[in-house]
Structure 1
Amino acid sequence: MKPPLLAFNDKGIYCAEADVYLDPWRPVDKAIISHGHADHSRWGHKQYITHHTNVPIIKHRLGDIQVTGKAWDESFVINNVKFSLHPAGHIIGSSQIRVEYKGEVWVFSGDYKTEDDGVAVPYEPVKCHSFITECTFGLPAFKWLPQDQVMSDINNWWQQNREDGRTSILFGYSLGKAQRLLKFLDPSIGKIYTHGAIENMTEVIRPMLELPETIRITRDTKKEEFKGNIVLAPPSAQGTTWIRKMVPYVTASASGWMAFRGARRRRAIDKGFVLSDHCDWQGLLTSIKATGCEKVICTHGYSDIFSKYLTEQGYDARTEATQYEGELGELETKNEQEVIS
């Protein structure tokens, strides 16, 4: 019995025929990277290959690295194995990685979502025999509302807070979620202030995306400037002395986990908006069906439950352990956390 084209080991997802890893979590010689979140693009690899729009993002996060950028659908061959990158719709520059060898095709999804958010290049299903899928929100309980509705709710919340003389503090991950929120915040309501970690990442992304004006928060920003306006901040800023100068304020979080009633309470958040950069239950199922695959490998998230359901639907499904963390992996890197004070 021949070994699988892609195998899981203690360093990551390995293609032995090409001697290359996909999103490895330990240092390797050659890595193909699906996107810029910290759990998928880690420091220490000798050579990185990723989509060209992800190049400035991972350089910002990882520093001086050797990286090659590829275009969508551009084929590149390593030791007779053909690779290509395809839109994952997760965040800017996020890719699915297609791997083909002797007629066998695998696709590694990385993280992905099917809703066109107007920011990332929309997800495109890729035909394959075997599909490696995340399961971050792989439960039937997760069903997302349309983005337009969620963003309307956020702007209405901000408007009401402004009328009440309060500052709106909205928490979202510095890469991906923050820019998605920023793209659809209504600047006619007031000014948009940003935490340094979010502003630094947004500066990297601005050349790729039209975004409204923002004001970086510094030590010189006066308390009275915040009243009635909105502040975008990473989740790690919650509960720090950094937000004290914004009193009186109201807090909110934009996350798929806000679908759980207890999540907002545990995080001491005033308001929760259900907005995720991952697929909901139906999005996962629709995506898998569209690939035409026979085998499915379920990784991070509700992998056991989701894999069992797929098996009942006739797929050859199993789980594999990884060090990917779904939305938790979108937290700030160490350098970004140091911006918080």
Structure 2
Amino acid sequence: MPKKPLLEFTDKGIYCAKGKFYIDPWKPVDDAVITHAHADHAYVGHKHYLAHYLSRDVLYYRLGEINLQTVEYGETVFKNGVEISMYPAGHVIGSAQIRVESQGEVWVVSGDYKTEDDGVCSPFEPVRCNHFISECTFGMPVYQWKPQAQLFEDMNNWWRHNVENNLATVVVGYSLGKAQRIIQNLDLSIGKIYTHGVIENTNEALRRNGVILNPTTRITIDSNKEEVRKGIIIAPPSSVGTPWMRKFQPYSFGYCSGWMAIRGSKRRRAADRGFVLSDHADWNGLISAIDATGCDSVYLTHGYTASFTRYLNDIGFDAHEVHTLYGGEEETPPQPSPEGREQQLNEAQVLSSGEDLGEANKALPFGEGLGGVEGDIL
């Protein structure tokens, strides 16, 4: 009888039967190990959570008073004799790859990751393993990121130009991940950073966890509109096209997403500027990360799984496509079919318009709902 694998894919999530725990389960379970705090990986309803300590306060903010245990990178926890440890994923602050070992069999679950050191979160570290469970959100050759320094030089020059021409500057980015990268890479000699309530709630949670971020000012109903317009405004995707954003007119609006690498994405977002900024690995990053694990087999959970699986098998990997519920955040492409990939890629130009479910479907602790953003600012 074949040996049962240490990890298996179930209708609740990635399961370790020997250890009696799940990794990033999407249905309520007794014991959940969480890679990071994005809502497609961290769901409410589990009895016990294990995550990296820098995810602590963001998880409390998003999920409420959960039963949460946290660990450092490299720290070992045992569950029913199975060894669990976490290593940097480089995706967002507090993100982790989960290493699981028993009797010499080693699996690593990547969660989401990027290989470029963004200077904000702990940089990605390849982890040697027998089996690697990887995302492939941007697993197509068209997705190849430029160096971050070049992107933020462009963004700061754009902001400076807007100030000189009496235009407010609005930058849209995901509230956990992109927002902090933007904040840490802006040229503060140009002006102050102002934030939508959803962004600032996340910043405050991270600061409670000991993360040091550049100064930001929450936009409230008492904020001076003209002073805000002299700075730069960081807002979530949910604010696009709302009365909240229109109150800053005239403004120049920039959208940050890996999808901006595809022609037409800026136009579809009605953005003045598109910045190709992603918290996921690009094509080359995915291949190099998978190769660095030295794995015997790789399992692809979300993104361009079908086409990327075929490519990896063609170049000598033992790759498998699996179906999960990951990828429900702002940067999730539709899955291309074996035929008509070019057509599917064109369809992928349409960006998702919402913030993640963890923020859209819960009451915010500071009384700032996404649907009623007009009431919390100018």
TM-score by length of 1: 0.97
**2:249 equivalent among 247, 250, 253:** 247
- CA drift at 1:232: 0.1
Identity of aligned residues (%): 53
> Distance between the aligned counterparts of 2:123 and 2:229, measured in 1?
36
More deviation, 328-337/147-156: 328-337
Spell out, residue by residue over 1:58-116, the C-alpha distance to the aligned partner (whole angstroms, 9 max, x if none).
Answer: 01111100000111111111111111101101111100000111111000000001111
Q: Distance in 2 between matches of 1:163 and 1:328?
A: 32
- The 5 Å alignment of 1:122-161 reads 122-161=123-162
Residue 221 of structure 1: CA displacement? 2.0
Amino acid at match of 2:168: T
Within a 5 Å distance, the mapping from 1:1-341 to structure 2 comes to 1-207=2-208, 208-325=210-327, 327-328=329-330, 331=356, 333=359, 334-335=361-362, 338-339=369-370, 340-341=373-374
- Shift of residue 326, structure 1, vs aligned partner: 6.2
What is the CA–CA distance in structure 2 between the aligned matches of 1:210 and 1:86, rounded to whole Å?
21
Q: In 2, are the aligned partners of 1:300 and 1:322 still within 8 Å (CA)? A: yes
State which drifts further: 227-236 or 202-211.
202-211
| Cα deviations by residue, 1:103-159 (Å, 9 ceiling, x for unpaired) | 110000000011111111111000001000000000011110111111111100100
| Alpha-carbon distance in 1 for matches of 2:229, 2:66 | 42
Alignment partners' CA distance in 2, 1:44 and 1:247: 42
**1:7-41 deviation digits (Å, cap 9, x = unpaired):** 11111111111110000011100000000111101
Secondary structure of 2:238 counterpart? helix
CA contact (8 A) 2:172 2:235 kept: yes
Counterpart code for 2:233: V
Q: Is the 8 A contact 1:183 1:210 kept in 2?
A: no
Letter in 2 for 1:70: V
Rounded Cα–Cα distance in structure 1 between residues aligned with 2:103 and 2:213: 44
Amino acid at match of 2:244: W
Matched AA of 1:202: N
What displacement does 1:224 show?
A: 1.9
The letter of the residue matching 2:246 is: R
1:271 deviates by 0.7
Q: CA deviation at 1:215?
A: 1.5
Aligned mates of 1:113, 1:47 — CA distance in 2: 27
Separation in structure 1 between the aligned mates of residue 36 and residue 88 of structure 2, nearest angstrom: 10
Contact 1:99 1:107 in 2 (8 A): yes
Query: Which residue identity is paired with 1:303?
Result: T
Residue 201 (structure 1) shift: 0.7
What SS does structure 1 have at the residue aligned with 2:133? strand
Structure 1 spans left out of the alignment, 5+ residues: none
Please give the alpha-carbon distance, in whole angstroms, between the structure 1 residues aligned to 2:224 and 2:54. 36
In 2: Cα distance, 1:327 partner to 1:258 partner: 16
Shift of 1:328: 2.2
Whole-Å Cα distance in 1 between the matches of residues 304 and 81 of structure 2?
Answer: 35
**Structure 2 Cα separation of the partners of residues 259 and 197 of structure 1:** 26
What amino acid is the match of 2:284?
Q
**1:327–1:62 CA distance, 2 compared to 1 (3 A):** closer
| Structure 2 unmatched ranges of 5 or more | 332-354
For the 8 Å contact 1:168–1:231, the answer to whether it is kept is: yes
- Find the aligned partners of 2:75 and 2:191 in 1 and give their Cα distance: 43
Of stretches 328-337 and 144-153 in structure 1, the one that deviates more from structure 2 is: 328-337
TM, length-normalised to structure 2: 0.88
* C-alpha contact 1:129 1:293 (8 A) present in aligned 2: yes
Distance 2:224 2:80 in 1: 58
Partner Cα distance (2:29, 2:93) in 1: 25
- Matched residues in 1 for 2:212 and 2:76: separation? 29
Determine the C-alpha separation between the residues in 1 that align with 2:36 and 2:273: 29
